[in-house]
Amino acid sequence: MTTIDHAGTSGLLRHGGYWRWSAGVQLARLPATMAPLAFTVLTTATTGSYRLGGVMMAVFVVAELLGAVPAGRLLDRIGAGRGIVLMLLAAAAGLTALATAAAAGAAPAVLLVLVVVPGVVAGGLSGGFRTLLAGTVGDALLPRAIAVDAMLMESVLIGGPMLVVLLNLVDSLLPLAAMAVVYLLAATFAPRTVTVRVEQPAQRPELPVRTAVGWLACLFSIGHLLSTIEVAPLPLAQRLGAGEAAAALIVAVLSGASIGGSALFAWRGRTTRASAIVFLCGFVLGGVLVAVVPGWAGLLMGVALVGACVGPLLTVASVRLQRLLPEGRRAEGFSVAFAVNASGFGIGSLTVGLLPLHLAPLLGAGSAALACAILVARPS
């Protein structure tokens, strides 16, 4: 059983290496949160339609998913500390080229090609930075470090679109330029941790996918259920006869509960299988409340319950995955985990668009129930 070292709160606060890592990873995440709105405002200004921006974002996400595992494998080979810096520089260069092409009035096909490079790089950053965290903090501080990171990630998710709105007041190209600058800043904060470098493919141990399937299922369910709320706050509010202000309330409740849940877990949480099962049960109950219970009370209770369980479940799954991953394949393993989580988010978003509104969170709750069953049947 793994517990958080409750005497180590001040230890994390004073851990300079962790805060340097945190600054780097938050900056590296920021451009991806800016991208949807940045692409939309750019193409609206240059073509008069938002549709090309939507296609650009779709290409970015596909490139992100397809590039995650190969990028993680590359980081394992050359070392995550060195590789992350090179990838951040490549992403900055790709966004600079994209902004330059847009300013020159390049054809839509050119813009779609140029968005591939930052997309591929973004897919590998998550696994790379998570690998660097393993070499930055010790096992006793790791759960708290991940829980605090989950809290900070909420501010990035909120701050990215707001930054685009502010920059767009000056010029529609400025958000893209800012994304490139942010990647460069992230490169200056990336820890120069020495990681295992495996020279020969024959020496590389297998990824323990079968052993880790329960924790991967947890990550999938997080993306799946969370997306059915994050993508659909306005339809959920309209179902109850409300409008945009109520949709903003739903997002605020979800984000606030997520920050609060992560904070409580950082204080007193345990990274045990039993804890993960409890949080998955919270997911199931929250998804059912959002899907089928009428009225605002049921909706907000469900949203708050889902939000409160996100950070803790993410922390438990991440810590347990790290135990299972071979040290020489951590970047690849965490990149697989990122791809699984992102796939869940994509499927949840798709169900919102294709299915009746109440079925989308219900299916998300079903994913959580399946993950719970896997953890019960296959302890790892």
Q: 204 pLDDT exceeds 70?
A: no
- Specify the CATH class of 213-377 in words: mainly alpha
Find the range with the poorest average confidence among 24-28, 55-59, 196-200.
196-200
Beta-bridge partners for 270: 3
Alpha-carbon distance values, 48 to 54, 168, 173, 250, 376 (Å)? 13, 15, 14, 31, 53
Exposure string (b/e) for 302-313, b if CB count within 10 Å is 16 or more? bbbbbbbbbbbb
Q: What is the CA radius of gyration of the chain?
A: 20
DSSP string over 304-354: HHHHHHHHHHHHHHHHHHHHHS-GGGHHHHHHHHHHHHHHHHHHHHHHHHH
- 108-163 pLDDT per residue, tens: 999 999 999 999 988 889 889 999 998 888 888 888 888 888 889 888 988 888 89
Looking at residue 196, what is its pLDDT? 44
DSSP string over 27-45: HHHHHHHHHHHHHHHHHHH
CA angle (109 as vertex; 104, 113 as ends), nearest 5: 90
Looking at residue 194, what is its pLDDT? 47
Mean pLDDT of 368-378: 94
**Which one of 3.40.50.300, 1.10.10.10, 1.20.1250.20, 1.20.120.50 gives the CATH number of domain 6-197?**
1.20.1250.20
Beta-bridge partners for 3: 270
Q: What is the pTM of this model?
A: 0.84
Residues 6+ apart with CB under 8 A from 361: 225, 228, 229, 287, 288, 290, 291, 302
Looking at residue 129, what is its pLDDT? 92
What percent of the chain is modeled with pLDDT above 70?
94
Residues 6+ apart with CB under 8 A from 212: 320, 321, 324, 325, 333, 380
Quick one: how far is CA 111 from the chain centroid? 25
Q: 274 pLDDT exceeds 80?
A: yes
Mean pLDDT of 97-106: 91
Query: What residue spans define the domains of the chain?
Result: 6-197, 213-377
Identify the residue with better confidence: 114 or 16. Answer: 114
- 228-262 pLDDT per residue, tens: 898 888 889 989 998 888 888 998 999 999 999 99
Q: 32 pLDDT exceeds 50?
A: yes
Looking at residue 9, what is its pLDDT? 56
Alpha-carbon distance values, 342 to 56, 131, 277, 376 (Å)? 17, 18, 21, 24
The DSSP 8-state label assigned to residue 3 in this structure reads B
Asked whether the domain spanning 213-377 has the same topology as the one spanning 6-197, the reply is: yes
